[in-house]
Amino acid sequence: RTWVVPAIMFTILYSISAFYGALFVLRFLYRWARNPSERFWRIKKREVPPACLNDPSLGNHAYVQLKHVKLHYVENGDKTKPLMLLLHGFPEFWYSWRHQLKEFSKDYWVVAVDMRG
């Protein structure tokens, strides 16, 4: 019969999903019952950024002020050489270009813009 295999797959997949969903809900309820004032999503506050973000071999950090926006960027290389502009996608940030910032700074003025969002 053609319906047996899809029915078995459906049952297995939804059973696994229900199991892990129940685990998540139970864990959430347990944590909430122990400390109701605690936030569900904890955000770790950092006084100092991680050392890898301040690596001088990646370049210089700077800001550009546009009309209503202040953008952060990292530049590396000689400003007299051709510009290579690196734009990341969502959900990344300038650090995604760390290898390119090091490699292409020999032949280009490389700028990795930290996009909004």
List residues bridging with 49 in a β-sheet: none
Cβ(87)–Cβ(68) below 8 Å: no
Picking from 115, 112, 114, the residue whose alpha carbon sits closest to that of residue 100 is: 112
pLDDT of residue 116: 81
Q: Note the pLDDT tens digit of each residue in 2-40.
A: 888 899 999 999 999 999 999 999 998 888 888 877 776
Q: Note the pLDDT tens digit of each residue in 34-55.
A: 887 777 667 778 888 888 888 8
This model's pTM is above 0.75: no
